[in-house]
């Protein structure tokens, strides 16, 4: 099996996970959780979002979280930023990295950001420019690449044109999102082959959701194509905003189980990760949906 020896896992639970949970987690618990995550061996944590609290009240304490966490110097602490106002707050919070986001689907972009795709570019350009001027690296999420809840199939050529614009702005990495978890390995192979023919291989990351159980099969396909950067959320936090009870983000602990078994290095300590997952679970009114958390210590 031709697979990489080493993979980078980017933990998005504190942002993409918590933003889709109804429950409000106390700031001090988020801080403690992120501090625990910093001790697991993860090299990247997306800690919060500077989207206006009116839209995502769960992450309204982004500035406090950023200021209170204990930062380790070999870890990149990132935050989501939607526009110039968000950038201002992110710079005040002094995060290491800015994440921007838009959709490959016109309808999803409109519903999510309230702008057409064309209207979104100048807003993001201002963020990228402003962030980079202050020495921040900028990463972009492109969502609904493998399918849209409103439009269904998204033509890859449209997606590639959007991604080109994002790279032209100065992002260093693009995270390719299966936002509603519809992708299958054949489709992943087709899309990623076009992606790596167009952009630098190591400037691309994968962001899979496990809504239909295919996330790890899709990761496997990406590994076989040589991709080495994967987003995931500890415990499968976040659920799926489009389907009650369904799982959302690929769980970091499930991803790690497979990567460990495949002898791929991540630098992450399984036991410390389990500890951090148990901590955030204890602050919530539900059990985390990842397979590893459902099994617990029983086998």
- Which residues would be at the binding site for its own copies (CB under 8 A)? 1, 3, 149, 180, 182-187, 189, 210-217, 219-221, 240, 242-247, 251, 254, 257-258, 261-263, 287, 290-292, 294-296, 298-299
Q: Please answer whether residues 58 and 94 qualify as being in contact, where contact means their C-beta atoms are separated by less than 8 angstroms.
A: no
Nearest distance in Å: CB 221, its own copies = 7
Nearer residue to its own copies within complex by CB, 93 or 154: 154
Nearer residue to its own copies within complex by CB, 100 or 225: 225
Assigned token pair, 48: 């919060």
Q: How far is it, in rounded angstroms, from Cα 204 to Cα 227?
A: 7
Three-state SS at 50: coil
Nearest distance in Å: CB 242, its own copies = 5
Instruction: Report DSSP state, residue 224.
Output: H
Catalytic-residue membership of 148: no
Nearer residue to its own copies within complex by CB, 61 or 254: 254
Catalytic residue among 79, 240, 251, 293: 240
Q: Please answer whether residues 182 and 215 qualify as being in contact, where contact means their C-beta atoms are separated by less than 8 angstroms.
A: no
Nearer residue to its own copies within complex by CB, 123 or 258: 258
Nearest distance in Å: CB 218, its own copies = 8
Nearest distance in Å: CB 104, its own copies = 17
Assigned token pair, 17: 């996970």
Half-sphere exposure of 43 (CA within 13 A, CB side): 10
Q: Please answer whether residues 231 and 7 qualify as being in contact, where contact means their C-beta atoms are separated by less than 8 angstroms.
A: no
Residues that are catalytic: 240
């Amino acid at each position: 099996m031709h697979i990489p020896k080493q993979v980078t896992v980017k933990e998005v639970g504190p942002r993409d996970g918590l933003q889709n949970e109804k429950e409000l987690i106390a700031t001090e618990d988020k801080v403690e959780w992120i501090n625990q995550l910093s001790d697991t061996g993860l090299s990247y944590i997306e800690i919060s979002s500077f989207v206006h609290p009116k839209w995502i009240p769960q992450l309204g304490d982004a500035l406090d979280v950023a200021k209170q966490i204990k930062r380790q110097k070999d870890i990149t602490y990132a935050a989501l930023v939607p526009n110039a106002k968000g950038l201002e707050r992110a710079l005040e919070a002094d995060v290491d990295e800015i994440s921007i986001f838009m959709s490959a689907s016109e309808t999803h972009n409109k519903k999510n950001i309230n702008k057409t795709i064309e209207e979104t570019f100048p807003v993001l350009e201002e963020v990228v420019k402003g962030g980079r001027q202050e020495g921040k690296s900028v990463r972009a999420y492109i969502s609904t690449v493998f399918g849209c809840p409103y439009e269904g199939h998204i033509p890859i050529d449209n997606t590639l044109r959007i991604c080109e614009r994002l790279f032209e702005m100065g992002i260093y990495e693009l995270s390719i999102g299966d936002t509603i978890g519809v992708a299958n390995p054949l489709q992943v192979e087709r899309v990623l082959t076009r992606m790596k023919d167009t952009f630098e291989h190591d400037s691309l990351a994968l962001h899979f959701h496990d809504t239909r159980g295919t996330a790890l099969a899709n990761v496997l396909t990406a590994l076989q194509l040589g991709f080495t950067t994967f987003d995931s959320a500890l415990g499968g936090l976040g659920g799926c905003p489009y389907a009650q009870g369904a799982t959302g983000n690929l769980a970091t602990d499930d991803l790690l189980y497979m990567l460990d078994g495949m002898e791929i290095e991540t630098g992450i300590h399984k036991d410390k990760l389990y500890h951090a997952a148990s901590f955030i679970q204890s602050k919530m009114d539900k059990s985390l949906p990842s397979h590893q958390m459902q099994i617990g210590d029983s086998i």
